[in-house]
Amino acid sequence: MKRHISVVLLACCILGFAHVVHGQKFESYRLLGDTIWSSTNLGYERPLQIHVPLEFQKENKQRKYPVILIFDQQNKRAYQYLLSTIDYLTSVDQMPASIIVGVQSNELYRYYETQLIQADPSAKGEQNEQFIMHELLPWIQKSLQGSTFTLLMGHSRYGFFTTHLWQKYPAKIQACIASSPFFLQENVNLVDSMENAIKKSKSQANHRYYSFGIGNDYPDEYKKMTEKIASYKLNNLHIKGDLFQEADHHATPGLLANQSLYRIFEYWNTSQIKYFKNSSAQKDVLNNSMKEIEQHYGSAFSFSLGTMNGKGWDYYGKEQYQQAIDAWTMAIEYYSSFTEFYLFIAGAYKKLGKPYIEWINRFKKELPKSEFYSAEEKKQLLDELQQEGY
């Protein structure tokens, strides 16, 4: 597999990360870098833009994140809106922190890389499929701590193509949000092939999600797909279509994204609320929650930093200091870069009248390694600690 990683990405990996993306400040994500991927299967370069959660830590190899591929990154208006929507929902704990990869298309190639050979002998859809499934996704999972849960987001031609991938790879593509997709091409009928996709998914234990939204561009195809879906018992499939009857073709990504993301991750959010409300801080409670998420999505991913931290502070506020320590100690396993947990644990031990300096020292040791804080934030934390006499 041939890859070229740009100087920008390499510099980010070595020197740390900025919290500002093209002048736009995100709450939960940072720009890891821009990359040029030379695809062996396509035979040309694909520009990528990679965003990671603020708590992303290179050394924490055990932590895995859902993977979101957003196609047509060259469409800046829609792309930036989708990034902002993901950031907003992550920041308010409605979806898990994810690895986000924007995949850019050259307009000269876009038609061919989203077309199938059955419809056009010049199509490169199969090669694009190989690029995504056998080059890009394995690299994200190996090098960027991506989990095996993959969500595709595509518009128009990429709405068609991501629908095709979701139907073809039930074990590898768990979710798809297709905006203004069409379903019919010469010798290709994604409405009819939905039948096979439904049958394949029924043999799987995990749940799968397909969300599509169509405006005033393809209302007939919307009708055909919804009628096809209505004729089947879906079981562990969650398929939802939205018709925005008067919406322009370019409006559908924004109209569809937020509600679709919410539906996909609603089970995850419900699970973390149950964990937060559970009166126990025992590790088996968290482990059972993680197992339930893995059974549902086919991959385990952590609860939000707010939930993991908040559970500790909930106990602390009730003066249940040992439970607070237990909750924060478990949280460190998932959020190793959030080194303030060590200070919180030290404070709880101090309340119990037990030795706590060990945790202050661990904080000092781990803080320089953290990629969560800026250099200025690290300095402020150490200055505050020094003022308190540590």
Euclidean distance between CA atoms 63 and 140, whole angstroms: 13
Dihedral of alpha carbons 320, 326, 327, 331, sign: positive
Domains 7-272 and 304-387 share a fold: no
Contact status, residue 327 vs residue 315, Cβ threshold 8 Å: yes
* Three-state DSSP class for residue 369: helix
Q: Would residue 208 be called left, alpha or beta, if left means φ above 0 and alpha means ψ between -120 and 50 degrees? A: beta
Q: How far apart are CA 382 and CA 389, in angstroms?
A: 11
Domain chopping of the chain, boundaries: 7-272, 304-387
Q: What pLDDT was estimated at residue 24? A: 64
How many H-runs (helices) and E-runs (strands) does the chain carry?
Answer: 15, 12
Q: Where are the alpha helices (DSSP H) in 31-156?
A: 76-91, 107-113, 125-130, 137-143
- Grouping H, G, I as helix, E, B as strand and the rest as coil, residue 33 is strand
3-state class (DSSP) for residue 59: coil
For 157-192, how does the pLDDT look when each residue is reduced to its tens digit (9 = 90+)?
999 999 999 999 999 999 999 999 999 999 999 999
Return the CATH number of 7-272, one of 2.60.40.10, 3.30.420.40, 2.60.40.1940, 3.40.50.1820.
3.40.50.1820
Dist CA 338 CA 333 (whole Å): 10
| 338: pLDDT strictly greater than 70 | yes
Of 59, 136, 61, give the one whose Cα is nearest residue 101. 136
Query: CATH assignment of 304-387?
Result: 1.25.40.10
Copy the structure tokens of residue 140. Answer: 């994200």
Q: What is the mean pLDDT of residues 30-51?
A: 96
| Residues 231-239, mean pLDDT to the nearest whole number | 88
49 strand-pairing partners: 34, 102
Name residue 174's beta-bridge partners.
none
Type and span of the H or E element at 162: helix 157-168
Instruction: Tell me the average pLDDT across 37-66.
Output: 92
Dump pLDDT digits (tens) for 216-229: 999 999 999 999 99
**Please, which residues bridge with residue 100 across strands?**
51, 68
| Residue 29 β-bridge partners | 53
31 bridge partner residues: 51
What digits encode the pLDDT tens for the residues 121-134?
Answer: 999 999 999 999 99
Question: Residue 300 corresponds to which tokens in the numbers above?
Answer: 């385990």
* Cα–Cα nearest to 173, from 148, 195, 193: 148
Q: Is 68 helix (H, G, I), strand (E, B) or coil?
A: strand
Question: Are 245 and 219 a contacting pair, CB within 8 Å?
Answer: yes
Would you state the pLDDT for residue 9?
35
Structure tokens of 151?
A: 């969500």
What pLDDT shows up at residue 84?
97
**What pairing do the DSSP bridges indicate for beta strands 65-71 and 237-243?**
unpaired
Q: How many CB atoms lie within 10 A of CB 68?
A: 24
Helix ranges (DSSP H) in 318-370: 321-334, 340-351, 357-366
The structure's pTM equals: 0.91
Q: How far is CA 36 from each of CA 8, 29, 128, 293, 372, rounded to the nearest angstrom?
A: 10, 21, 15, 34, 26
Instruction: Report the distance separating Cα 348 and Cα 340, nearest Å.
Output: 13
- For range 257-281, the mean pLDDT: 93
- Mean pLDDT computed over 276-305: 91
Give the residue-averaged pLDDT of 38-42: 96
